[in-house]
């Protein structure tokens, strides 16, 4: 059946479906977190029902629940040790395939899983492409203990960096602070533009109380960009190639009715 979806969801779906086609029988697959990654889980589940044998390593409790409900066999990263491929979404990506991730608060596990993979593939709608990172708030996972001090140290450090904004806010989940799967808080840095992302990620992770930040530098190998008209662009940073195709926005209703 043809899905009756708005263009943004068609873009996410076709990107996820194209990336799911990159997964081969017997692979150990890192499963990302977020709205686009949820489409991926459903697309992989459809292939599993058709006979594809894979083992998935989820990057969050949310993804684990979704994958289990969809019938994908899960293992831990400790059991897998190393992965063939990780497929995940992104909040922003630039021309060098550097990313901002963590809008869903899972960037710590996402970064660990992505770096333990032979291939890291990002799936995104075309609106996530930017000339320079930073319009999306940069998530920084911090310990609950002394988080206000950590926030102060981050804001002081930002004075000497090439960014346009220098404020940090505690992410809330309703009336209480948002808490990650690891029991930490998230500070969102409102930077507007990041001049030197590679330098910033190193400086952030040197601050006491910082667990990990949402800058993914030199981690992504390939990005799959979906468009609302069904077009898909696959850009490979290592091969220097760009492939354009068109995918039909068709899927089984029972797999996608809750997205």
Read off the tokens for 107: 């960037």
Q: Is 88 annotated as a binding residue?
A: yes
The torsion angle over the Cα atoms of residues 121, 220, 239 and 129, rounded to 10 degrees, is 90
CA distance 185 to 91: 19
Backbone angles phi, psi at 199, to 5 degrees: -70, -40
Q: Is 91 annotated as a binding residue?
A: yes
Catalytic site includes residue 110 = yes
Q: Is 15 annotated as a binding residue?
A: no
CA distance 16 to 19: 5
Strand 231-236 relative to strand 138-142: parallel, antiparallel, unpaired?
Answer: unpaired
CA distance 242 to 146: 46
Q: Is 33 annotated as a binding residue?
A: yes
Number of Cβ atoms within 10 Å of the Cβ of 256: 19
Q: Is 84 annotated as a binding residue?
A: no
Could you write out the DSSP letters of every residue in 185-249? EEEEEE-S-BS-HHHHHHHHTTSTTEEEESEE-S---EEEEE-TTSEEEEEETTTTEEEEEE---
Q: Is 104 annotated as a binding residue?
A: yes
Residue pointed to by tokens 């492939």: 243
Whole-number Cα distances in Å, 196 to 49, 117, 132, 134, 139:
45, 26, 10, 10, 16
Q: Is 116 annotated as a binding residue?
A: no
Q: Is 86 annotated as a binding residue?
A: no
Helices (H), the chain: 7-20, 35-49, 61-70, 77-80, 107-115, 147-158, 197-204, 253-256
Q: Is 34 annotated as a binding residue?
A: yes
Q: Is 117 annotated as a binding residue?
A: no
Catalytic residue among 46, 92, 110, 141: 110
Which parts are annotated binding residues? 33-36, 88-91, 101-104, 128
Q: What residues act catalytically? A: 110
Known binding residues for substrate: 33-36, 88-91, 101-104, 128
């Amino acid at each position: 059946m043809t899905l009756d979806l708005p263009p943004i969801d068609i873009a996410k779906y076709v990107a996820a479906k194209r990336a799911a086609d990159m997964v081969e029988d017997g692979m150990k697959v890192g499963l990302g977190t977020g709205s686009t990654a949820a489409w991926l889980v459903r697309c992989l589940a459809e292939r599993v029902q058709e006979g594809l044998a894979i083992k998935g390593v989820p990057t969050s409790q949310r993804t684990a629940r979704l994958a289990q409900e969809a019938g994908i066999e899960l293992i831990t990263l400790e059991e897998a040790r190393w992965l063939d491929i990780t497929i995940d979404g992104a909040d922003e990506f630039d021309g060098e395939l550097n990313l901002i991730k963590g809008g869903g608060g899972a960037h710590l596990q996402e970064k660990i899983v992505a770096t333990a993979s032979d291939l890291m593939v990002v799936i995104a709608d075309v609106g996530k492409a930017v000339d320079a990172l930073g319009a999306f708030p940069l998530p920084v996972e911090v310990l609950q203990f002394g988080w206000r001090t950590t926030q102060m140290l981050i804001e002081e450090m930002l004075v000497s960096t090439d960014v346009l904004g220098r404020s940090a806010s505690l992410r809330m989940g309703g009336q209480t602070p948002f808490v990650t799967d690891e029991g930490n808080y998230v500070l969102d840095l409102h930077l507007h533009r990041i001049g030197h992302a590679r330098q910033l990620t190193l400086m952030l992770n040197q601050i006491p109380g910082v667990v990990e930040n949402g800058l993914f530098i030199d981690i992504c190998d390939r990005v799959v960009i979906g468009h609302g008209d069904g077009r898909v662009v696959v850009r490979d940073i290592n091969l220097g190639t760009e492939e354009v195709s068109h995918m039909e926005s068709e899927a089984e209703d029972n797999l996608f009715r809750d997205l």
